[in-house]
Chains A and B, each alone.
Chain A
Amino acid sequence: MQDLKVQFFVSGGTVNAVDGVSFEIDRGEIVGIVGESGSGKTMTALSLLRLIPEPGRITNGRILYGEKDVAQMTDEEIREFRGNEIAMIFQDPMTSLNPVLRIGFQVEEAMIAHQRFSNKQAKERVVPMLQRVRIPAAKDRVRDYPHQFSGGMRQRAMIAMGVSNEPSLLIADEPTTALDVTVQASIIELIRDLSRELRASVILITHNMALVASLCNRVIVMYAGRIVEQGPTRAIFKNPQHPYTWSLLRSMPRVDEKEKERLISIKGLPPDLGKMPPGCKFHPRCKFRVDRCFTEEPPLDEVDPGQRARCWVLMKNIANPEAQAQT
Chain B
Amino acid sequence: MTEIHVQHVSKIFRIWRAGLKVRVIDDLSLTVSRGESVLLLGPNGSGKSTLLRMIATLLMPSEGKILIYGYNTRRRSRALLNLLGFMPEECKFHIGISGLTFLCYLGKLIGIREPKKRATEILDDFGLKKWRNIDTSVYSEGMRQRLGLCSALLNEPKVLLLDEPYNNLDQEMRMKLKSFLHKYVENDNIVIAASHNEEHFTNFREIRFPIEKGE
**Does A associate with B in a complex?**
no
